[in-house]
Amino acid sequence: MKPTRLFIKKCFALSLTFIALLPATNSHSQSAKSQWVYPNANGKLEYKKTDKGDRIMDYSYAGYMGGGVTIPNIGTKITLSPVDGDNSSNIQKAIDQLAATEPVNSFRGAILLKPGTYNCDNPININTSGIVLRGSGSGENGTILNMTGKPHACIVVKGPVKTNTIGNATVIADTYVPVSSFSFTLVDASGFKVGDMIRISRPVTEAWVKFMGMDNLVRDGKKQTWVTGEISSDRIIQKIEKNKITVDVPLNDSYDSQFGAITVQKINITGELSQIGMENFRIVCPAQSVTISEGHHRAFTMDGMSDGWARNIEILNTVNSISVNGKRITVDHVNINHEVPTLGAAKPADLNGSGPQILFNQCNISGDNIFFLATGAKVSGPVVLLNCIFKGNGWIQPHQRWATGLLVDNCEVPAGGIDFMNRGSMGSGHGWAIGWAVAWNSKAKSFLNQQPPGSANWVIGSIGEQQKKAAPFNQLPLLPEGLYDSHGVRVTPGSLYLAQLEERLGKGAVRNIGY
């Protein structure tokens, strides 16, 4: 029996639906299997471990509400139209008016900016939870925030965060805790209960700094200091079995007791903002041919907050455009374009991802002499770049002083590089910038993948020139290479982040974020 025309049409429609749900990937074919992460016969992800038990971590906890949660559409409470002259004060009054209301289900509501151009002489500050700033479209006929006046950030979100310690600290009893672990054993867990927020802190000891080769940084005859104090990560206790603690998000660094006792302290955080969004508008300013030490317009900052988003935003000519230091934040379909390159050897960072659980999804940048993404000091990820395209003379380059847990997933840097490197005495002694980073099925003109002592960085299923270099300002010795796997041939799964998200939360979680 021949299939009917109606049956053929239905099959064709179903096939189109299936294609629409597939993750976005690069164009080159995928045919290989990574030895470090791969689907087994049952379709579950298998992970190869190092001799110490370290493995590639689960990055799927990055993003709004911890990943896999649909960004909500919040009802409009206030609507504004552009006025002559400065609009920032008018928008600020609306935000303050909404801030004075009581939240319902964590939200106070949205402020809608009608189409038109809003000249803004000053920053727009959001310092209350549950507020969404929404435009009427990011196109040229939508809502345009035109930055006027002295250099400033267009939108500033900042909570007055304060961390208080509770009770006595204890230490981890395990000799070694591998990266990506959910559990570890304490010397004494009696002061903790399920639901407690804890801070896990690695001391920066002389022994560890020497082990990392960071005790001899010198620039212009002056000794440089890499890291001091402690490097900390916060987690929520999910389970306690005697002295064994299980936490909510996997650890994005390893802990080796030979370099100092790892402390665990119960904490309480106050002043943190939450449920804040910005969406559907355009931020523009005049072309800025400046160095990073000169005043410049910036797009937005998100600091001192958790569970927020920025989506569907077009940005023109800002420098050091976006800084995200909060946690569980998604930056989705945000595009940045530069009409002129920045000046000087020190380069600005268009995306600064310096908080835990940050997802940059389908963001595009076009510009020269910039870092497309950089990280600050002591950043505790995961930080994920997913399906981003960065055009121009620039780099994805974690920037300084031991960030951990970066995933570059299906990203393209056709004229620039992806660098997981020791920056040595660059800056003021940036040193090892990143550990436990992964580039997955990505394309770049070049990769500089270097191996920190006691850690690993991976480039898997990616295409681009493999570089070998010494520490900056040196010719030799060449630093050890990080781990390359299936270089030049894509691997399955096509997207590591989406595969991990589906395995943890199901197919619905993948659909929730637009795939």
Q: Would you say residue 285 has pLDDT above 60?
A: yes
265 and 277 part of one domain:
no
The token pair at 473 is 């300002």
- The per-residue pLDDT for range 8-63, each reduced to its tens digit, is 343 434 333 333 344 444 444 547 999 999 999 999 999 999 999 999 999 999 99
The verdict on residue 5 lying in a domain is no
- The per-residue pLDDT for range 352-384, each reduced to its tens digit, is 999 999 999 999 999 999 999 999 999 999 999
The verdict on residue 57 lying in a domain is no
pLDDT band at 291 (very low <50, low <70, confident <90, very high): confident
Cite the DSSP H helix spans in 191-241.
206-211
pLDDT band at 449 (very low <50, low <70, confident <90, very high): very high
Using only C-alpha atoms, what is the Rg of the chain?
A: 23
191 and 104 part of one domain:
no
197 and 346 part of one domain:
no
- The predicted pLDDT at position 292 comes to 87
344 and 479 part of one domain:
yes
How many domains does the chain contain in total?
Answer: 2
- The per-residue pLDDT for range 418-427, each reduced to its tens digit, is 999 999 999 8
The token pair at 60 is 């799927």
Number of H helices and E strands in the chain, helices first, is: 5, 41
Amino acid at 478: L
In degrees and rounded to multiples of 5, residue 500 shows phi and psi of -65, -40
pLDDT band at 386 (very low <50, low <70, confident <90, very high): very high
- The predicted pLDDT at position 512 comes to 98
Q: What is the dihedral of CA 99, 101, 102, 103, to 10 degrees?
A: -50
Range from 1-10, 159-168, 334-343, 496-505 carrying the lowest mean pLDDT: 1-10
Query: 495 lies in which domain range?
Result: 64-160+273-511
The verdict on residue 4 lying in a domain is no
264 and 279 part of one domain:
no
Strand partners, 361: 332, 386
Query: Distance between CA 189 and CA 485 in Å, rounded?
Result: 40
Give the mean model confidence (pLDDT) for residues 253-267: 97
Strand partners, 419: 448
User: Is 252:436 a contact under the CB 8 Å cutoff?
Assistant: yes
pLDDT band at 315 (very low <50, low <70, confident <90, very high): very high
Q: How high does pLDDT run on average in the chain?
A: 93
Q: What CATH number should be reported for the domain holding residue 73?
A: 2.160.20
200 and 304 part of one domain:
no
Question: Which of 410, 385, 288 has the alpha carbon at shortest distance from 334?
Answer: 385
Give the mean model confidence (pLDDT) for residues 429-441: 97
pLDDT band at 440 (very low <50, low <70, confident <90, very high): very high
The verdict on residue 418 lying in a domain is yes
Amino acid at 497: Y
287 and 368 part of one domain:
yes
User: Is 150:296 a contact under the CB 8 Å cutoff?
Assistant: no
Give the mean model confidence (pLDDT) for residues 252-270: 97
**Domain final residue pick, 207, 239, 270:** 270
**Domain final residue pick, 208, 240, 270:** 270
- The predicted pLDDT at position 15 comes to 39
320 and 333 part of one domain:
yes
485 and 430 part of one domain:
yes
Roughly how many angstroms between the first and final C-alpha of the chain, as a whole number?
37
User: Is 472:13 a contact under the CB 8 Å cutoff?
Assistant: no
Q: Would you say residue 7 has pLDDT above 70?
A: no
Give the mean model confidence (pLDDT) for residues 398-410: 96
- The predicted pLDDT at position 346 comes to 87
Q: What CATH number should be reported for the domain holding residue 175?
A: 2.40.30
285 and 259 part of one domain:
no
Question: Which of 328, 224, 216, 206 has the alpha carbon at shortest distance from 273?
Answer: 328
The token pair at 167 is 């009770």
The verdict on residue 32 lying in a domain is no
The token pair at 251 is 């650890």
- The predicted pLDDT at position 28 comes to 43
Report CA torsion sign: 478, 483, 486, 489.
negative
The verdict on residue 50 lying in a domain is no
- The helix/strand/coil state of 150 is coil
What would the DSSP string read from start to end of 259-271? G-PPEEEEEEEES
The token pair at 497 is 């982040």
Output the CA–CA distances (angstroms, integers) from residue 200 to 52, 225, 228, 401, in the order listed.
20, 23, 16, 18
173 and 247 part of one domain:
yes
Residue 489 C-beta-side C-alpha neighbours within 13 Å: 7
Residues in the chain: 515
User: Is 330:297 a contact under the CB 8 Å cutoff?
Assistant: no
pLDDT band at 133 (very low <50, low <70, confident <90, very high): very high
pLDDT band at 475 (very low <50, low <70, confident <90, very high): confident
The token pair at 30 is 């995928």
The verdict on residue 23 lying in a domain is no
- The predicted pLDDT at position 1 comes to 37
Question: Which of 481, 437, 490, 483 has the alpha carbon at shortest distance from 462?
Answer: 490
The verdict on residue 40 lying in a domain is no
Which span out of 24-28, 291-295, 496-500 was modeled with the highest average pLDDT? 496-500
Question: Which of 422, 435, 493 has the alpha carbon at shortest distance from 460?
Answer: 493
- The helix/strand/coil state of 503 is helix
266 and 279 part of one domain:
no
Residues 6+ apart with CB under 8 A from 375: 352, 353, 354, 383, 398, 399, 400, 403, 406, 433, 434
**CB < 8 Å & 24+ apart, contacts of 16-25:** 21/511, 21/515, 22/515, 23/387, 23/410, 23/494, 23/495, 23/498, 23/510, 23/515, 24/362, 24/387, 24/410, 24/495, 24/515, 25/387, 25/410, 25/441, 25/490, 25/494, 25/495
- The per-residue pLDDT for range 71-88, each reduced to its tens digit, is 999 999 999 999 999 999
Residue burial 188-212, b: 16+ Cβ < 10 Å; e: rest: ebeebeeebbbbbbbebeeebbeeb
**Domain final residue pick, 226, 248, 270:** 270
User: Is 68:74 a contact under the CB 8 Å cutoff?
Assistant: no
- The predicted pLDDT at position 290 comes to 87
Residue 213: left if φ>0, alpha if ψ -120 to 50, beta else—which one?
left
Query: Distance between CA 265 and CA 354 in Å, rounded?
Result: 22
- The predicted pLDDT at position 345 comes to 86
- Give the Cβ contact number of residue 497 at 10 Å: 30
Give the mean model confidence (pLDDT) for residues 459-477: 94
The widest CA-to-CA distance across the chain, in whole angstroms, is: 85
- pTM of structure: 0.93
